[in-house]
Chain A
Amino acid sequence: MLDQVEEVASQANAELQKIASLDELEGWRVRYLGRKSKLINILRSLGDVPIEERRTLGARANQVKVGLESRFTQKKEQIELLKNQSLELEKIDVTLPGQPYQVGRLHLTTRTIKEICDIFISLGFQIVEGPEVEWEHYNFEALNMPAEHPARDGFATLWADYKTETGARPMLMRTHTSPVQIRTMEKAKPPIRVIAPGRVYRYEATDATHEWMFSQVEGLAVDKNITMADLKGTLFEFARRLFGQDRKCRFRVDYFPFVEPGCEIAIDCFVCGGKGCRLCGSSGWIEILGAGMVHPEVLRGCGIDPEEYSGFAFGMGVERIPILRYGIDDIRLFYNNDLRFLKQF
């Protein structure tokens, strides 16, 4: 038995000399120090050995085991050290360019709409949408703008070549997102809290500040006890979240046929701080949205009793926001889709 111990010792030592990798070393450890190794077996079966041999054998076997264990640790450290030394020599050039990874971008308009919607979603609004080709009824009449209403002059309209039997031409490309208000109120019962982003169209010659297609976000909240104070609080909160908490807001009277009272919200100019500059047209204020309390006739027309319910509606232009923020000097860049423009955002 003692011979076997000696043989294991010399064999293990000899093999260890040749080992160069951690994998080999682990194999060596299993072979000579593992649970099934000869040495461990001998140690485990010492009880069966006659008492007189047991002491010598046990002492020697343990000595060999401790010796091998320490050689193992030494060898392991030695290999790791060598490995590190060689890795040092294999250093790559970390300044070479990384693999290009092509990512796309959302269109600037889509991103801005999402930004606006996210704020309103966090205020409990739902997103809804409506058709881009509309009936005149939804685009005008139901919004308190009957034929020949003076406010219609502000909406140069693209009409569809579609005639009814009476010769009327009641189909158009919507000139604003406000018809979605009507469609929403016709379908849903209060409480209503929606925003409606979308594309709108005007008969308009294009230049640096005019585009015939642009985007709006419309909003509507209808329930019992909604007041103009709620309108002001909600929309001021929105304006500050979008343009910065320290922006000042201005709340002034304005007119839209489908609201009463009507208002306009402006923020103090973020370029000049209200002193007046080219961006804000020397007024110090930048108008960002129009709003008001839904007109009682509009509510009634949608089957909502204006004596019981009230609400506010608002609308804003989308492209205007990045135009102001980034100093974009030509609105035509939005839908010209030049990648050199789109990739900047």
Chain B
Amino acid sequence: MKVPLKWLKDYVDTDISPEELAEKLTLAGLEVSAIQVIGGNWENIVVGQIAAVNPHPNADRLRLATVDTGKGQQTVVCGAPNLVVGDKIAFASAGAKLIDGHTGKAEELKPAKIRGVASEGMVCSEKELGLSENHEGILVLPEEFQVGKHLSDYLGDAIFDIDITPNRADCLSVMGIAREVAALTAKPFRMPDLSYPESSKSVESYAAVEIKAPDLCPRYCATVIDGIVIGPSPGWMQKRLAACGARPINNIVDVTNYVMLEFGQPLHAFDCQQIRGNKIIVRRAAAGEAMYTLDEQERKFDSDILLIADAERPIAVAGIMGGLSSEVRDYTTSILLESANFSQAAIHRGSQNLKLSSEASVRFEKGLNPGLAMMALKRATQLIAQLGGGKVAGGIIDVYPARTAKKPLSINGHNVRRLLGIDLELDQIQRCLELLGLSCRKGDSNNVLVGDPWWRNDINCTADLVEEVARVTGYDNIPETMLSSSLPSGAGSLIVSFRQEISSFMVACGFQEIITYPLTSPEIMQKLSSSPGTAQPEMLKIANPMSRDLEYLRTSLRMGVLSVLSRNQRSRENNIRLFEIAKVFLPRPQDLPLENEILCGLVDTVAPETYWQSKPAPVDFYFVKGMVETLLARFGIKADYLYGHDVTLSPAGSADVVVDSVKIGVIGEVHPAVLMRFDIAEPAFLFELDVDKLLTLASQPLIYKTISKYPGTTRDIAMLLDTGVTYQKIVDIVKGFSLVSDMQLFDLYVGEQIPEGKKSLAFRLTYQSADQTLKDEEVDKVQKRIIERLSKELGAVLRS
């Protein structure tokens, strides 16, 4: 909202600087985002009067103007066509800062010789003064300006650009801001006079109003002004409209715009002769109904749209835009002036539905007080009668189906203390509210009763009044205290700290955390499957997606990590290790999707780090597995690794991670076909763990195991086995012997000196008892039984 300071001063006397005022408004919730100062640098520019105009001796298109500057006369060279003796003009003497009419740049005026004639000043155009883009001729000032006075005394101004929050539609007006200024500077607010003479012919004889949709139109007020003459509005009005960004049109339309800017109430003028049947009907559109709006567009309506119609046809889209057929034209002599209240929801829906927004709709959709309609109507009627020269029909049409007597709101010292933490006397509270113009009276129980302000729509409960008190006393006066209330019990969400622990572990293992978008597409999901045509998991769709790639809620994190790996390989990053902990969204009938938290990691093995000393350990399946094992061990979880059939992973090297026969994740080499689709160099290894399941498993209580006081003994075993026999089978047998406390595989060999189809394994067993030091014979006996079972059940052959 643009608000000129001079206009504000019509309603409130304020003498503080524009900057100070801006600061006060900003702190009170009306953020001043810019102040445009007009005439701030008009130091050497005064009001002058043209005393004589003579031809230039050396140039036909130039003339010599003699100007009375109040301190004598000066003659300057001037090229403007509109030099008239006796006119008041803006005269700049040397040193003035002006905008160059051609380049648009600010320059200092210097004495010059133009075609042989010395010229020490200048008669200015609007553009040179920075008032507008007009450079056609010089600016002619009103007769009442006094010669010799500074131009800024008359035309200087400061225009505030104020961001209005959605609750303060009343502040989309100069008067609304003026009320704020009055309250914040403790000055009285002046209401303009709203009276005007009325003719004996009553308004009802011109038109009748019927509201057929009272839910969408709480109030409709109208006056009729007859015998008007359409013409331009006066300069002062045009200037104010322009300063606020409205284009002057004619005296009638300008008044409706002016009063909208002044009061915040949109108004509309209909050509009375175009209202068929002398009837205004406020109703929902019939389906398929259509009309041309003022912008010459044909609009088709559905029944959501609220229309203003006459007896035969729609003549305006209520609260949004007028119709072309009833527009005020040059030949219009009689108008019906509408000042109505339309429901905020109706106008919001209508404006979105029609994709049409106007200064009027912007105000209505924020919500206006129906009280405003009558006040603004009186003001606009008065101005039209003054400027358009017509006669106002007697009385005002006021159809007000939503008229209710709002109960006054109550506020007391306790209300203020318990919300703001400050103590105010009842009188102080009342004074704050009265500064805002609210009508207050003392109640029976040491409280103040506050009436509904007709210009505001945002004061509906005691808390609203408390905020008003706080705004006027200033938020700066609220002290800083720390919370002294009791602490809540419990620890909050468990998953947060669990997730943090996992992340710290991943980071320590050299993994970089990434965060990817949760939206994807079936095409991208399809890339995760090594065999095309695999059934896709069901995904929740977005009704209004921003693009095809962001149409579904992901059910996997894999495409995210794979895409990020691919992108970073292209920027030549080495040894990439990525992880993400985030949610996937699994659809459920008649409910929000199940948000399942997943840990997904991915490593590549491209270009191992070059190091002068030794080669780093390879990154492969066992690297990832070791990491997963260590992570699980950290939470006391021991998993089995079983052959699985994951579509993203290579059948040659992948496994399901299973705990107590529940699958909690997968690890493995990414299938080459998938890597190719993501443009990733082979190989890459992926793991995925269900964090929610992990949390449940990790929450199981740990039990301390006594540390054995007795030393352990180690024995090595080396044996040949068929290559198809998994290590797990050996583990399962050995684990059955309770004296074995640890088992470490230290060699695995296939190749020379080993028969075809066989592999050689060597592992070290640690024997330890909690009760005694084991004798060699006992250990030997157990070891012998282990070897017997391995050879019998797995066909192992002991190597010596």
Contacts and interface: CB of A to CB of B under 8 A. Distances in A.
A107 B573 CA distance: 17
Given A229-B421, A261-B470, A148 B485 contact: no
B699 interface: no
A110 B478 contact: no
B366 A150 contact: yes
B301 interface: no
A97 B595 contact: no
Interface in B547-599: 550, 553, 564, 567-568, 571, 573, 575-579, 583, 585, 592-593, 595
Interface in A238-258: 250-255, 257
Given A251-B478, A296-B461, A150 B367 contact: yes
Q: Which interface residue of B483, B577, B613, B616 has the most chain A CB atoms within 10 A?
A: B483
A180 to B, nearest CB: 10
B482 A237 contact: yes
Contacts of B52: none
Contact of B575 (A102, A154, A171, A224): A102
B62 to A, nearest CB: 43
Interface string B648-692: 000000000000000000000000000000000000000000000
Interface string B480-513: 1111111110111101100010010011111111
Nearest to B491: A126
A131 to B, nearest CB: 5
Interface in A250-273: 250-255, 257, 260-263
B612 interface: yes
Contact of A335 (B349, B500, B515): B515
Contacts of B756: none
A293 B546 contact: no
Interface residues of A, number: 92
Interface stretch (B137-145, B165-173, B255-263): B165-173
B345 to A, nearest CB: 4
A124 interface: yes
Contacts of A150: 166-167, 344, 348, 365-367
A261 B490 contact: no
Interface in B460-486: 461-464, 466-467, 470-471, 475-476, 478-486
A174 to B, nearest CB: 11
B389 interface: no
Interface stretch (B21-29, B154-162, B425-433): B21-29
Interface in B430-447: none
Contact of A228 (B421, B511, B577, B579): B421
B516 interface: yes
A236 B513 CA distance: 31
Q: Which interface residue of A109, A263, A297, A339 has the most chain B CB atoms within 10 A?
A: A339
A68 B580 CA distance: 70
Contacts of A101: 510
Contacts of A97: 611-612
Contact of A114 (B480, B481, B500, B592): B500
Contact of B475 (A96, A106, A251, A257): A251
Contact of A158 (B467, B542, B611): B542
A254 B165 contact: yes
Contacts of B577: 102, 104
Contacts of A223: 485-486
Nearest to A147: B345
Contacts of A151: 166-167
A169 interface: yes
Contacts of B500: 114
B419 interface: yes
Interface in A102-127: 102-107, 109-110, 114, 117, 123-124, 126-127
B450 to A, nearest CB: 15
A336 B592 CA distance: 28
B541 interface: yes
B481 A229 contact: yes
Given A191-B485, A255-B167, A261-B463, A212 B546 contact: yes
A131 B500 CA distance: 19
Interface residues of B, number: 93
B609 interface: yes
Contact of B543 (A133, A160, A261, A340): A160
B592 A232 contact: no
Nearest to B581: A110
B404 interface: no
Interface in A207-240: 212-213, 221, 223-230, 232-234, 236-237
Contact of B517 (A117, A147, A213, A343): A213
Nearest to A121: B492
A338 interface: yes
A159 interface: yes
A148 B571 contact: no
B482 A260 contact: no
A310 B513 CA distance: 39
A232 to B, nearest CB: 5
Interface string B444-464: 000000000000000001111
Contact of B512 (A221, A234, A342): A342
A230 B513 contact: no
B522 interface: no
Contact of A194 (B492, B514, B583): B492
A123 B483 contact: yes
A337 interface: yes
Contacts of A236: 480
B539 to A, nearest CB: 10
Contact of B463 (A234, A260, A335): A260
A161 interface: yes
Contacts of A123: 482-483
Given A106-B513, A110-B513, A261 B419 contact: yes
A141 interface: no
Given A229-B478, A230-B483, A104 B509 contact: yes
A228 to B, nearest CB: 5
B592 A135 contact: yes
Nearest to A189: B488
Contact of A255 (B27, B29, B479, B546): B29
A169 B543 CA distance: 9
Interface in A183-197: 188, 191-194
A213 B487 CA distance: 33
Contacts of B165: 254-255
B477 to A, nearest CB: 10
Contact of B467 (A133, A253, A310): A253
A281 B243 CA distance: 24
B420 A229 contact: yes
Contacts of A114: 500
B422 interface: yes
B166 A100 contact: no
Contact of B540 (A109, A134, A162): A162
Return the 10 tightest CB-CB contacts between A and B, nearest first. A229-B421, A126-B492, A253-B29, A227-B421, A102-B510, A261-B467, A148-B345, A255-B165, A223-B485, A233-B480
13 contacts: A100-B611, A103-B510, A104-B508, A107-B515, A123-B483, A128-B492, A150-B348, A212-B546, A221-B485, A253-B28, A261-B471, A262-B29, A296-B461
Interface of B: 26-29, 31, 165-168, 344-345, 348-349, 365-367, 417-422, 461-464, 466-467, 470-471, 475-476, 478-488, 490-493, 495-496, 500, 503, 506-518, 540-546, 550, 553, 564, 567-568, 571, 573, 575-579, 583, 585, 592-593, 595, 609, 611-613, 616
Given A148-B349, A191-B487, A213-B518, 6 more contacts: A106-B503, A129-B493, A132-B595, A193-B485, A233-B482, A252-B29
Interface of A: 96-97, 99-107, 109-110, 114, 117, 123-124, 126-129, 131-135, 147-151, 153-154, 158-162, 169, 171, 173, 188, 191-194, 199, 201, 203-205, 212-213, 221, 223-230, 232-234, 236-237, 250-255, 257, 260-263, 293, 295-297, 310, 334-340, 342-343
